Amino acid sequence: MTTTQKPTETLVAELVEIERIHRLLSDYAFHLDMNHPDEIAALFTEDCYVAYGPDFGAEGREAYRETLGGIGSFFAATSHHVSNIVVDFGLDLATATVRSVLHAWHRYTKDRPDGHFFGQYHDELVRIDGDWRFERRELRAAGVVDFHVKKQIPIGRAGS
């Protein structure tokens, strides 16, 4: 949304879709913290690409769903906090590029310190039958504290 020189109907349509995209991002976090792998997978397209790290991701919803199977036993609890959401639409509000910021807290079932992740989600969304879905979701790290995944995709901070 870079200009207000649009007719009211268009602006309303954009704001409505932004709110629905916020909900998609919130639902993802909710179902992750609730250990609902089926509900998480349903938020992705069939041909999705998900990258949680340089060596850790999945191609396709079915493969992605499999990576979610261990959430319940690996973590005793998680809490995902998403903010700083920025949305840019493609043509006809049919696609969207979304950037957001994540602070995630993780308590492990193993006896080890809680892990923290600080970073960014970079998403490519598509609207299918009115519902927004993740076609591509990439998680990039600003930094981590006591986190179980050793290698992250960096946010690409300049000069560092």
Residues 98, 103, 107, 111: is their CA dihedral positive or negative? Answer: positive
CB contact burial 64-97 (16+ within 10 A = b; e otherwise): bbeebeebeeebeebebebeebebebeeeeeebe
Give the range of 17-25, 44-52, 55-63 binding a second copy by CB under 8 A: 17-25
The residue from 54, 69, 72, 90 that contacts a second copy (CB under 8 A) is 72
DSSP state of 63: H
Residue 128 makes contact with a second copy by CB under 8 A:
no
The residue from 42, 101, 126, 149 that contacts a second copy (CB under 8 A) is 101
Residue 94 makes contact with a second copy by CB under 8 A:
no
Can you tell me the distance from the alpha carbon of 160 to that of 122, in angstroms, rounded to the nearest whole number?
20
Q: Is 69 left (phi over 0), alpha (psi -120 to 50) or beta?
A: alpha
Residues 31-60 that bind a second copy (CB under 8 A): 33-36
Residue 82 makes contact with a second copy by CB under 8 A:
yes
**Six-digit token string for 19:** 């709110």
Residue 152 makes contact with a second copy by CB under 8 A:
no
Residue 59 vs 107, nearer CB to a second copy: 107
DSSP state of 43: T
Residue 150 vs 160, nearer CB to a second copy: 160
Minimum Å distance from CB 23 to a second copy?
6
The residue type of 11 is L
**Six-digit token string for 49:** 């690409």
Token look-up 């590029």 returns 97
The residue from 83, 91, 92, 111 that contacts a second copy (CB under 8 A) is 83
**Six-digit token string for 93:** 């509000």
Binding site for a second copy (CB under 8 A): 1, 3-4, 8-9, 11-13, 15-20, 22-23, 25-27, 29-30, 33-36, 72-73, 76-86, 99, 101, 103, 105, 107, 114, 116, 118-120, 130, 142-143, 145, 155-160
